[in-house]
Structure 1
Amino acid sequence: MSTMQNQRLEGLSEKIFLDRYAWKDADTNNAKVGDVVLALTKDDPKFPTKEVGEIVKREGRKVTVKTRKGELVESNVEKLTLTIEKTPEEMWDRLASAMSSVEATPELQEEWRGKFREILDDWKLVPGGRIAAGAGASDELTLFNCYVIPSPKDSRGGIMETLTEMTEIMARGGGVGINLSSLRPRRAIVKGVNGSSSGAVSWGGLFSYTTGLIEQGGSRRGALMLMINDWHPDVVDFITVKQTMGQVTNANLSVCVSNDFMKAVKEDLDWELVFPDTSDPDYDELWDGDLDKWKAAGRQVIHYRTVKAREVWHTIIESAWKSAEPGVVFMEYYNQMSNSWYFNPIICTNPCGEQGLPGWGVCNLSAMNLSKFYDEANHDVAWDELATTTRYSVRFLDNVIDRTPYHFAENEENQKNERRVGLGTMGLAELMIKLNIRYGSPESLEFLDKLYGFIAREAYLASADIAEEKGSFKAFDAELYLQSGFMKNMAEVYPEVAEAVREKGARNVTVITQAPTGSTGTMVGTSTGIEPYFAFKYFRQSRLGFDEQFVPIAQEWWIVIRVKSFRITMSQR
């Protein structure tokens, strides 16, 4: 492992760190001359601007801040973001202590504090944003990035209950996914008030509007994913809703697509849009959005209309072209591959879409910065260091489950039943540049299979080792677990993983994921997620302001090229 080193953040990286992740001092009246702060210099509801600077003068509530650009800004203390932490090292110390504190003995706590601090150093492991912001800093903030809550009960009270749950989660820093398929379609009869329903899409608009009202600390806003199943009578309205300005503006949208629907698309067949018979005497008690379960119980459905599956598919494509949404999620296939298939069905994804989750499921995220695992001496991946970091990171994330506050008992019960974690990556494109591998080339595809297979193997072996020490997740059943589509694939390529699971168990129902890491990747100055660089120099408009970005590795290569060019020129004189 590399020795610990001081980190200096600059420009947008420093802004993101201070705004999103550094431990805050909520009482800005504590601001004093000499403090490094984030000052709101343009108070615009849509495009605010914040600048990092140092307080050089204070008179009462008024302050003068000298920005990093050398400008003097007059402000007041209410418009400052005051942080207790000023450097990444302070945050890493806090996180290592917090995550090791749940170990069983003082000796283990000290051992793992050191190991966690080692992998956090130099941004080798970049914790998920909620972990970075909350662990060891607040007993109120969730350490889980995102949640899926159960589909709303199909009543005004049920919808308001879901709205309350969503609001409470978002207010504490979590994003939320909701599947709307449990809500009766537009114009369906509502007998209790002798009227008709406004439909699932209209209630999605309410969830979207509320999301736009919620600030989560710094410049971070609430995040929402709305989904609907392909059989729902409102599916076409859902697909096209973003073509009407202002109706749903603060949510990502996706259609849950089944195998039968895709078969109907390929064969140009009819597709039935249906919904349960709401007059069923057990409707309010039994209906939860799972149509297959409803039918299996012998309950009736009402046929609303017949459409061409291919026309619905083309509408999805056209709408995605016009408004960038909706996406599609192959939910039936998702459940066939899911490790929790036998006890906890997936109903929706989180807002960014990297994790399909059950009701009350959570995203427990961190990402390894692959750009830090380049072995320059051998022009290869530093495989041993990557293996160690992967294994330590799985334990880090497992400890999050026992460290985080839970504001809903259902979340705690679900997460401690399955102990779902999601270890991902960032910096892939930067690593490949260092290895002289062209992104998207045949060589890159072969390399990616090797790299991510290696990470998956180490992660699942680590989970088995932790299970041997601490016990498997409560719902673990070795034979059923190994029958998931994912674990079958894993066992075929890495039989030692299946052997370890049978012998030792599994601490976590899932272990790996791939999040986009937009903010955290930008903060640490590397490529985000698994994406290539779309440009080496660009301008970024965000809720922190308008910033110019020049990719660090491109700057390094530009300097090398200029030096080589200069040497060639000098040698020719």
Structure 2
Amino acid sequence: MERKRYTFEEAYEASVKYFGGDELAARVWVSKYALKDSEGNIYELTPSDMHHRIASELARIEAHYPNPMSEKDIYSLLDNFDYIVPQGSPMAGIGNNFQTGSLSNCFVIGLDGHPDSYGSIIKIDEEQVQLMKRRGGVGHDMSDLRPKGTPVKNSALTSTGLVPFMERYSNSTREVAQDGRRGALMLTVAIKHPDSERFIDAKLEQGKITGANVSVKIDDEFMRCVEEERPYTCQFPLDSNDPEVKTDIDAKALWGKIVYNAWKSAEPGVLFWDTILRESLPDCYADLGFQTVSTNPCGEIPLCPYDSCRLLAINLYSYVKNPFTPEAYFDFDLFREHVAKAQRLMDDIIDLEMEKIDTIIEKIKADPENMEVKETELNLWFKIKAKTLKGRRTGLGTTGEGDMIAALGLRYGTPEATEKSVEVHRALALAAFGSSVQMAKERGAFEVFDAARERNNPYICRLREVAPELVADMEKHGRRNIACLTIAPTGTTSLMTRTSSGIEPVFMPVYKRRRKVNANDVDVHVDFVDESGDAFEEYIVYHPKFLEWMRISGIEQRRDFTQAELDELVSRSPYNKATANDIDWLEKVKMQGAVQKWVDHSISVTINLPSDTPVELVDRLYMEAWKAGCKGCTIYRDGCRSGVLISVGENKKKDREKAGEEKDENSADEVKSTSGAADMPAPMSKVKRPIELEADVVRFQNNKEKWIAFVGLKNGQPYEIFTGLADDDDGIFCPKSVSKGKIIKATDDKGNKRYDFQFINKRGYKTTIEGLSDKFNPEYWNYAKLISGVLRYGMPIDQVIKLVNGLELDSQSINTWKMGVERALKKYLPSGTPAGGQKCPNCGQETLIYQEGCLICTSCGSSRCG
């Protein structure tokens, strides 16, 4: 029986109702998690359908074991994203027979033997790509690669060091796209490696290593050397008693470079590696293949080679009873019950993953390539399957921490809030490990469990101190899972739970935006008219739980709050001084360290700092993180990454450019346009860009990556073109039914210029996508300004295409952008236009013409499209 299909618009409208009018949550769910086939057909109307799909599959696995949970019970835990929330890969993949993918969110790879051989380097490259195409994020360590200048036994004579291979792995990652979801990579190196300083500096150069996160594995000895201002010894190999390379470095100076680079570009992150290894339960079995070597791309799962992990999050807000009232309390009884069930479901997902891996293996075997080509991928999945079954690792975590704290009447970033968080995460640890022990009784312990190996592990010692009966039971019966807990960034998932993300505070509880309106429409309220006569309506965006606080507090939701009234409203709420930019950052680091003691994997957390943060504060935060017992730390200073990629000044106009806004002075707006004919205007002739331009929407696809172009037209010819990813984290959403509209020069609520795209939707309503510049990667936007400037000066389109084709760009994403611009512009070439200066690749003659977007040779008849 054929399954019912839905259009994007049908699923989107139904999901808007499901989410109570939250359009962003609906769009994220339909775009990323609704069941789809490879053609993009949608088979689920709302998240309720998805939750039934997931519950059915989990209940099928439960039926294989004693005391199974029913499908109804499982569905009640998932429904409305209230309690248990599968993360990305499990949410999209469980019960999905349309795609051959993994349910694992995280992988780490690495070879024993001779990992610094060229063959090993190439094999790691291939393995990471094979995993990324199955939807997994990958990490691997580079500490075993020879430092620059050391002898090698090939014609190169000496090693090139780490950096060229960082670029190689980064570029491979950027080539992989999974239905608009890019590959994700973490590269790590030990601070002890002689090339660690080059590693630390590698991402500062514009356009380099753009496809990977990088983190430095820092040991306790290095940190003590920093504190005591002593030299630190780097060597290669790292653990050799007779190293080939050995050199003393200024530890404090290198630490200063790490801190400065993090302040400037948000990388490298730091991993306190001795803390990770000391606390790690899997490393009790290091000699059996569980030695931790790197982490996943966000750092919350340290892993051994060829192990993987799947993620679930528990929505902490839902366990606050009577939220935002004096009677608010955390329901620990219900929480413990649900944590135990969530841990069972995590173990069930491992069985589902085994089925997925078997399907992947069978597909590889059936692929038409010869076995020599398929061998690496096939062996990769055999190794992952074996390691997964051996340890049965799980990644149970939480989300909504910031909202939970506010709902309890506490303020994030205070000792009182930290104390409550620790209480909650301690309860989570005890319930999850208790569930794992119970499953060991019913289902069997993980294969290599040995209580004696773990007896002195610091994490087990803490469990023993607060729950001696649990540890005694575990020593007798074992536990089902080698490691259980993590706190991952929940990202788009938190948009669907409609809570704060992961362990983070709320970013902003309420803010105002403007949207353009037609002043002549009935019932339109105009709040602002710019110098061009465009009318705008102001509207307020509320964080969902802030809105709930208002409702419970009896505060009417009005559309006409002034900014002063909004500020006063926030000051009365539990979110006051508790947002990402307002909290006590040192207290946040202390909170992370305190919670980390009850999380056996790690915690993904980013400390968001304002742009004027001094370097010295980053130094203090990183040092405090080490002392507090954090396993890792990342900071993000507002605007720091844009500052690396694009040259910015100190004035406000250049700040807007950094964010992708066009400047007012000497911009491409001010040049004269022609219809595209060969007659060029005088170079200094200037006219204002029209306020409105008719526009075409052009869609195209590179591999499975979906791109969109907005082409502004004047006199029917391209006048400007803005191109970037569609339906992606870094891209823009526009309904597929829309092919035409207008690009309108607008002004945001701070008076900054921007471009909006306006169209008429299926119901006949005028709809505006605000700020095209904010929706696209700043790299795409700045190149778009360049090409638009050329178009406005009147260069013939075939010559613009030739110009774009000739651009030599390092970034893979920009090269993809370049192809998209060519494709979009070819649509506007009159048939028969000569492709001047281009030779036919078949016969070598300069007899190529454009015909319906394709290049046709009039001599030999060969053609090339796209």
Q: 1:153 maps to what in 2? A: 115
8 Å contact from structure 1 (residues 115, 392) kept in 2: no
Which whole-Å deviations, capped at 9, do the CAs of 1:50-107 have from their partners, x for residues lacking one? xxxxxxxxxxxxxxxxxxxxxxxxxxxxxxx432112111111111122232235499
Percent sequence identity over aligned pairs:
33
SS of residue paired to 2:186: strand
Q: 2:78 maps to what in 1? A: 120
Post-superposition offset of 1:311: 1.1
1:425 to 398, 419, 430: 398
Q: 1:561 to 1:115 in 2, by over 3 A?
A: closer
Post-superposition offset of 1:195: 2.5
8 Å contact from structure 2 (residues 445, 481) kept in 1: yes
State how far apart, in whole Å, the 2-side matches of 1:207 and 1:229 are. Answer: 18
Q: 1:141 to 1:9 in 2, by over 3 A?
A: farther
8 Å contact from structure 1 (residues 146, 176) kept in 2: yes
8 Å contact from structure 1 (residues 190, 196) kept in 2: yes
User: What pairs with 1:8-87 in structure 2 (closer than 5 Å)?
Assistant: 8=20, 10-27=22-39, 81-87=40-46
Query: RMSD across aligned C-alpha pairs, in angstroms?
Result: 2.4
SS of residue paired to 1:97: helix
State how far apart, in whole Å, the 2-side matches of 1:165 and 1:564 are. Answer: 53
8 Å contact from structure 1 (residues 186, 198) kept in 2: yes
| Counterpart AA for 2:194 | P
8 Å contact from structure 1 (residues 7, 88) kept in 2: no
State how far apart, in whole Å, the 2-side matches of 1:440 and 1:107 are. Answer: 44
User: What pairs with 1:392-431 in structure 2 (closer than 5 Å)?
Assistant: 392-404=341-353, 405-406=356-357, 408-431=381-404
Q: 1:550 to 1:400 in 2, by over 3 A?
A: same
Post-superposition offset of 1:400: 1.2
Q: 1:549 to 1:135 in 2, by over 3 A?
A: farther
Post-superposition offset of 1:172: 0.7
1:372 matches 2:364: no
Post-superposition offset of 1:321: 0.8
- Structure 1: segments with no counterpart, 5+ residues: 28-80, 277-290, 541-546, 566-573
2:473 to 497, 500, 510: 500
User: What pairs with 1:69-468 in structure 2 (closer than 5 Å)?
Assistant: 81-103=40-62, 105=64, 111-123=69-81, 124-138=83-97, 140-150=100-110, 153-217=115-179, 219-276=180-237, 291-292=238-239, 294-295=240-241, 300-343=242-285, 344-376=290-322, 379-404=328-353, 405-406=356-357, 408-468=381-441
Q: 1:204 to 1:368 in 2, by over 3 A?
A: same
User: What pairs with 1:538-549 in structure 2 (closer than 5 Å)?
Assistant: none
State how far apart, in whole Å, the 1-side matches of 2:451 and 2:541 are. Answer: 48
Q: 1:491 maps to what in 2? A: 464
**How many equivalent residue pairs?**
482
SS of residue paired to 1:307: strand
8 Å contact from structure 2 (residues 19, 26) kept in 1: no
SS of residue paired to 1:190: coil
Post-superposition offset of 1:117: 1.5
Post-superposition offset of 1:25: 2.7
Deviates more, 1:164-173 or 1:81-90: 81-90
| Counterpart AA for 1:319 | N
Which whole-Å deviations, capped at 9, do the CAs of 1:336-365 have from their partners, x for residues lacking one? 111112212211111011111111121221
| Counterpart AA for 2:35 | W
SS of residue paired to 2:96: coil
What is the TM-score normalised by the length of structure 2?
0.53
SS of residue paired to 1:423: strand
Q: 1:539 to 1:520 in 2, by over 3 A?
A: farther
What is the TM-score normalised by the length of structure 1?
0.80
Post-superposition offset of 1:370: 0.9
| Counterpart AA for 2:147 | P
8 Å contact from structure 1 (residues 257, 332) kept in 2: yes
SS of residue paired to 1:527: coil
SS of residue paired to 2:244: strand
Q: 1:9 to 1:161 in 2, by over 3 A?
A: farther
Instruction: Kindly indicate whether structure 1 or structure 2 has the higher relative contact order, using CA contacts under 8 Å at least 6 residues apart.
Output: 1
Q: 1:22 to 1:548 in 2, by over 3 A?
A: farther
8 Å contact from structure 2 (residues 65, 443) kept in 1: no
State how far apart, in whole Å, the 2-side matches of 1:535 and 1:94 are. Answer: 34
8 Å contact from structure 2 (residues 108, 304) kept in 1: yes
State how far apart, in whole Å, the 2-side matches of 1:128 and 1:557 are. Answer: 27
State how far apart, in whole Å, the 1-side matches of 2:110 and 2:490 are. Answer: 26
8 Å contact from structure 1 (residues 146, 350) kept in 2: yes
Which whole-Å deviations, capped at 9, do the CAs of 1:548-568 have from their partners, x for residues lacking one? 963111223345453499xxx
Q: 1:474 to 1:561 in 2, by over 3 A?
A: same
State how far apart, in whole Å, the 1-side matches of 2:21 and 2:36 are. Answer: 17
Q: 2:500 maps to what in 1? A: 527
| Counterpart AA for 2:76 | E
SS of residue paired to 1:178: strand
8 Å contact from structure 1 (residues 331, 346) kept in 2: no
8 Å contact from structure 2 (residues 90, 103) kept in 1: yes
8 Å contact from structure 1 (residues 374, 380) kept in 2: yes
Q: 1:100 to 1:209 in 2, by over 3 A?
A: same
